[in-house]
């Protein structure tokens, strides 16, 4: 709930456009209706990029952009799309947006583009985008759909970045590696904040290679779900 | 013999689900019972095996600079690939419905779901980025589909059994499925040491 206070200035500025319902659309996906841990959407392209924080952030931003604008355009066109071909129309909208993201990223930051490789393209089949188009944008007005897209993209991004932070600190001992604000936290040279060869307290520490493996992302999300559901009893799976 | 090589690599060593997390949504959503998992797995093998060579032909002869049009159209790749996949799924659905109503009833709603299965598009994109040729891309399609099939059958069987165990309530269902997939991923990593050339060298 801490981040709602940060968003308050925006809320006041756009009072008629941004009421209670809109705020709910934005905040709900962060916890109660999180796309990854509750709706189980969009895990496909997410987990493989989270071994470092910086690619996760890039991925999250790309997904927020695509969900928001795909929702907006689909919602604008919703009354003109015949029901039988709606999947193809939606896919074309998403694919064009993703192509834009891909080309922009290739121009702006080629190393990250190489690192994310096919996963940028896989935003097309990211179930979050498709799922929100089907469930929300086809039945709601453009502005609300846009907010819903941003909210769901954020909910996805938050999980992605949380997994990324845990995996990078414990796997590599750094934070934001590859970005301009790289932090070296713990490691075996004096370039790191905690130098394990010098430090008395952390002399035993070594990077956990399990965290670099893709499987660690599965464990972490499993644990996040466990924590979230222990606090939020109504999400518990009864079956 | 690179057919067998690529097949084994795609099915076991670089399993689409357990090493790349592709097709995770349907993998988690449809793995509650073995029976439905079986149907979806078959459909995935089918569609991957068909779309992969078609997408290969498209990217080789239509989109590349040395292709028939002579212009570099690679920026259209996503749109064309997803269009091929969506229309192939539709076509497969109609053909199966016409010629084999039994199989159609078994696959049911899973066929249209496959359009948004990341494993299919991911397979095509991997094929492009790894520069496979036509035979290799068929092998990669079938092998990748088979690997996906194996993974979903395995998790479905485990989830059927784990229902009788005493899992903490908050971890039940989804949380457990994630952790199981992680464990399976680690188990599959032990296959990484296999050199696929071993299978072909003897010939």
pLDDT tens for A35-59 read: 777 777 777 666 778 888 888 888 8
d(CA B78, CA B184): 31
What ipTM goes with this model?
0.77
Residues 6+ apart with CB under 8 A from A28: A151
Residues of B in contact with A214 (CB under 8 A): 19-21, 185
Contact pairs from chain A to chain B, CB under 8 Å: 139
> In terms of Cα–Cα distance, which of A214, A29, A58 is closest to A128?
A29
> In terms of Cα–Cα distance, which of A49, A59, A133 is closest to A91?
A133
Q: Best of A59, A117, A118 to disrupt the B interface by mutation (most B CBs within 10 Å)? A: A118
Q: Which of A40, A42, A95 is opposite residue B78, by nearest beta carbon? A: A95
Of A12-26, A76-90, A102-116, B94-108, the least confident: A12-26
Average pLDDT over residues A114-139: 81
* Contact across the interface for A125 and B118, Cβ inside 8 Å: yes
Nearest CA distance, B167 vs chain A (angstrom): 11
pLDDT of A46 reads 66
Instruction: Tell me what the pLDDT averaged over chain B comes to.
Output: 82
Q: Best of A48, A105, A125, A238 to disrupt the B interface by mutation (most B CBs within 10 Å)? A: A125
**Integer CA distances (angstroms), B70 to B62, B73, B80, B81, B129, in order:** 8, 9, 17, 19, 20
**Among all chains, which residue has been given the structure tokens 């936290």?**
A185
d(CA B95, CA B63): 28
Residues of A in contact with B182 (CB under 8 A): 215-219, 222
The tokens for A39 are: 């709706």
Residues of A in contact with B74 (CB under 8 A): none
- Those residues of chain B that have pLDDT short of 70 are 1, 106-110, 196-203
d(CA B47, CA A163): 32
* Contact across the interface for A225 and B22, Cβ inside 8 Å: no
Predicted TM-score of the model (pTM): 0.80
* Contact across the interface for B182 and A216, Cβ inside 8 Å: yes
Residues of B in contact with A133 (CB under 8 A): none
pLDDT of A225 reads 84
pLDDT of B201 reads 60
Residue A224 has pLDDT above 80, yes or no: yes
* Contact across the interface for A214 and B86, Cβ inside 8 Å: no
Residue A119 has pLDDT above 50, yes or no: yes
- Would you list the DSSP string of chain A? -HHHHHHHHHHHHTTTTS-HHHHHHHHGGGTTT-TTTTS--S-TTTGGGTTSHHHHHHHHHHHHHHHHHHHHHHHHHTTTS-GGGHHHHHHHHHHHHHHHHHHHHHHH-HHHHHHHTHHHHTTTT-HHHHHHIIIIITTS-HHHHHHHHHHHHHHHHHHHHHHHHHHHHHHHSEESTTSTT-EE-EESSTTSSEETTT-STTTT----GGGGSHHHHHHHHHHHHHHHHHH-GGG----
pLDDT of A4 reads 45
Q: Which of A103, A118, A217 is opposite residue B129, by nearest beta carbon? A: A118
d(CA A220, CA B92): 38
Contact map slice: A 129-168 vs B, CB within 8 A? 130
pLDDT tens for A143-178 read: 888 888 888 888 888 888 888 888 888 887 778 777
Residue B75 sits at the vertex; the CA angle it makes with B60 and B70, to the nearest 5 degrees, is 45
> In terms of Cα–Cα distance, which of B118, B133, B108, B119 is closest to B56?
B133
A170, A171, A177, A182 alpha-carbon torsion, rounded to 10°: 30
Contact map slice: A 76-115 vs B, CB within 8 A? 87-88, 91-92, 94-96, 98-99, 102-103
pLDDT of B203 reads 47
pLDDT of B1 reads 62
Q: By three-state DSSP, how is residue B64 classified?
A: coil
Residue A10 has pLDDT above 60, yes or no: no
B160, B185, A121, A148 alpha-carbon torsion, rounded to 10°: 50
Higher pLDDT, B131 or A181: B131
* Contact across the interface for A122 and B121, Cβ inside 8 Å: yes
């Amino acid at each position: 709930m801490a981040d709602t206070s940060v968003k308050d200035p925006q809320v006041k500025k756009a009072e008629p456009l941004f009421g209670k319902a809109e705020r709910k659309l934005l905040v709900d996906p962060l916890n109660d209706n999180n796309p990854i841990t509750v709706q189980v959407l969009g895990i496909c392209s997410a987990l493989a990029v989270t071994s470092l924080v910086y690619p996760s952030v890039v991925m999250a931003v790309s997904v927020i952009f695509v969900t928001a604008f795909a929702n907006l355009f689909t919602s604008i066109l919703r009354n003109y799309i015949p029901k039988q071909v709606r999947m193809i129309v939606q896919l074309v909208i998403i694919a064009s947006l993703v192509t834009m993201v891909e080309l922009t990223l290739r121009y702006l930051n080629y190393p990250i583009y190489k690192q994310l490789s096919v996963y940028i393209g896989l935003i097309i089949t990211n179930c979050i985008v498709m799922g929100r188009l089907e469930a929300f944008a086809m039945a709601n007005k453009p502005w609300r759909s846009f907010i819903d897209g941003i909210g769901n993209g954020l909910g996805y991004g938050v999980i992605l970045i949380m997994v990324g932070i845990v995996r990078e600190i414990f796997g590599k001992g750094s934070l934001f590696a590859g970005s301009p604000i790289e932090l070296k936290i713990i490691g075996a040279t004096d370039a790191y904040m905690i130098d394990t060869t010098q430090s008395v307290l952390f002399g035993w520490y070594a990077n956990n290679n399990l965290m670099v493996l893709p499987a660690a992302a599965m464990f972490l999300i499993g644990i996040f779900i466990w924590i979230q559901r222990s606090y939020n009893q109504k999400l518990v799976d009864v079956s | 013999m690179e057919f067998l090589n690529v097949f084994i690599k795609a099915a076991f060593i670089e399993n689409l689900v357990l090493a790349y997390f592709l097709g995770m949504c349907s993998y988690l959503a449809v793995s509650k019972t073995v029976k439905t998992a079986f149907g979806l797995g078959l459909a995935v093998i089918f569609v991957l095996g068909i779309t992969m060579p078609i997408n290969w032909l498209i990217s080789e002869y239509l989109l590349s600079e040395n292709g028939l049009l002579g212009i570099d159209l690679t920026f259209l790749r996503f749109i064309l690939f997803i269009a091929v996949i969506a229309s192939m799924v539709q076509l497969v659905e109609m053909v199966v419905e016409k010629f084999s109503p039994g199989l159609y009833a078994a696959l049911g709603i899973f066929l249209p779901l496959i359009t948004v299965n990341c494993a299919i598009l991911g397979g095509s994109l991997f094929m492009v980025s790894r520069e496979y040729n036509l035979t290799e891309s068929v092998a990669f399609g079938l092998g990748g589909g088979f690997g996906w099939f194996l993974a979903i059958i395995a998790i479905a069987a485990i989830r059927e059994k784990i229902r009788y165990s005493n899992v903490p309530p908050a971890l039940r269902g989804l949380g457990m499925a994630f952790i199981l997939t992680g464990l399976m991923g680690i188990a599959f990593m032990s296959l990484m040491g296999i050199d696929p050339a071993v299978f072909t060298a003897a010939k």
